[in-house]
Amino acid sequence: MSDARILVIAEQEKGHLSSATARVLDAAGRLGGSIDVLVAGSQSGEAAQQAARLTGVAGVISVEDSAFDHMLAENMGALVVSLAAPYTHLLCASTTSGRNVMPRVAALLGVGQISDVIAVESADTFVRPIYAGSVLATVRSLDDKKVMTIRPTAFEPVGEQDAASVSSAASTGEQGMTTFVNEQLAGGERPELGGARVIVSGGRGLGSAENFRLIEGVADRLGAAVGASRAAVDAGYVPNDLQVGQTGKMVAPELYIAAGISGAVQHLAGMKDSRIIVAINSDEEAPIFQVADYGLVADLFQALPELERKL
């Protein structure tokens, strides 16, 4: 057991703790030592209660101040640095927020940062993908304080425990550099790509935005998130926040169904860690079949409606 003291910076929105937190805690547990969680922003008190019940958490720090809504990097950076002194490790999920805030924290502390950790070998040695996941690098940090982002899908969510104590800390407030204007979030009823258990993705094979309804039909039967290949996004069938791949979302659901997706390297990089992959494609030579557990060579416009009907 090492004597690490770990602070996990959790994301929360309107009192709702991000589902990635339980997975980051799995990574934190592998470092050995005691684990605190920081939640900040409006209604952080509610999210703090959720964090307190996650296995392995010794204490939760809640800083309820709207300056930390949307994880604005300038405000969050100042807050994390103000709390950093006792900790040996600062961890955050490698989401677009974590990748925005944590390098700023590291530079303010004068240390390096380790991005997108997928395995913990020891308290100072970690595995992370480089070259779009085509190589895995094992790196040892030389810093006293390790500032890390954790790829959530590489770890399992921890379970629940009797609630740990929640305390509050002083807000460092608004830094007066950046203000939030607005956001356009996709989704609606369907689960978010990052946390979905099942994902149904469509590619250029769908042929049009209208035909993407076939994907949505199957997704809704399975309670799944909808994804897309870059080709489908570039063709304008769906908005870009649905893109799975090296330049889009990295996902690893229990079940990934790829329909009309040929399987370009850039797409495979984003979904090849899924537990079960299904490929449906009319082209039996499509590279997607080389990574699929189950391949069905079929016309999408017959197979997808049939799948929706029979599920």
Partner 1 sequence: MKVLVAIKRVIDHNVRVRIREDHSDVDLTHAKMAMNPFCEIALEEAVRLKEQGIADEVVAVSIGDKSVQEQLRTAMALGADRTIHVNSDTAVDSLGAARVLAEVVRRESPGLVLLGKQSIDSDSSQTGPMLAALTQMPQATFASRIVIEGERLQVTREIDGGLETLSMSLPAVVTTDLRLNEPRYAKLPAIMKAKKRPIESLEIDELGVEVTPRQTLVRVDIPRERQAGVRVESVDELIDRLKNEAKVI
Residues 46-75 that bind partner 1 (CB under 8 A): 70, 72-74
Of 191-210, binders to partner 1 (CB under 8 A) are 192-194, 198
Task: State the binding string over 80-109 for partner 1 (x if CB under 8 A, else -).
Answer: ---------------xxx-xxxxxxxxxx-
Residue 263 in marked binding region: yes
Indicate the residue among 1 and 181 with the shorter CB distance to partner 1.
Answer: 181
Distance CA 265, CA 121 (A): 28
Residue 240 in marked binding region: no
Q: Which residues have a Cβ under 8 Å from the Cβ of 131 and sit 6 or more positions away?
A: none
Is 14 an interacting residue with respect to partner 1 (CB under 8 A)?
no
The number of beta carbons lying within 10 Å of the beta carbon of residue 174 is 16
Note the residue count of the chain.
311
Is 141 an interacting residue with respect to partner 1 (CB under 8 A)?
yes
Indicate the residue among 159 and 223 with the shorter CB distance to partner 1.
Answer: 223
Measured CA distances, 281 to 257, 273, 293, 296 (Å): 11, 20, 14, 7
Residue 262 in marked binding region: yes
Sequence-separated contacts (24+) of 195-198 with Cβ below 8 Å = 195/19, 195/20, 196/224, 196/225, 196/251, 196/253, 197/223, 197/224, 197/253, 197/254, 197/255, 198/222, 198/223, 198/224, 198/225, 198/253, 198/254, 198/255, 198/256, 198/257
Distance CA 296, CA 37 (A): 45
Of 212-241, binders to partner 1 (CB under 8 A) are 222, 239-241
Span interacting with partner 1, options 61-69, 140-148, 154-162, 199-207, rule CB under 8 A: 140-148
- Which one of residues 21, 113, 229, 281 is an interface residue with partner 1 (CB under 8 A)? 113
Is 21 an interacting residue with respect to partner 1 (CB under 8 A)?
no
Residue 267 in marked binding region: yes
Indicate the residue among 52 and 212 with the shorter CB distance to partner 1.
Answer: 212
Q: From 107, 106, 102, select the one nearest 116 (Cα to Cα).
A: 102
Span interacting with partner 1, options 33-41, 47-55, 202-210, 284-292, rule CB under 8 A: 284-292
Span interacting with partner 1, options 24-32, 50-58, 126-134, 208-216, rule CB under 8 A: 126-134
- Which one of residues 5, 34, 296, 301 is an interface residue with partner 1 (CB under 8 A)? 296
Size of the site for partner 1 (CB under 8 A): 84
Distance CA 196, CA 180 (A): 27
Task: State the binding string over 161-190 for partner 1 (x if CB under 8 A, else -).
Answer: ----------------xxxxxxxxxxx---
Dihedrals φ, ψ of 54, to 5°? -85, 135
Sequence ranges of the binding site for FAD: 204, 229-230, 243-247, 260-267, 281
Q: Which residues are annotated as a binding site?
A: 204, 229-230, 243-247, 260-267, 281
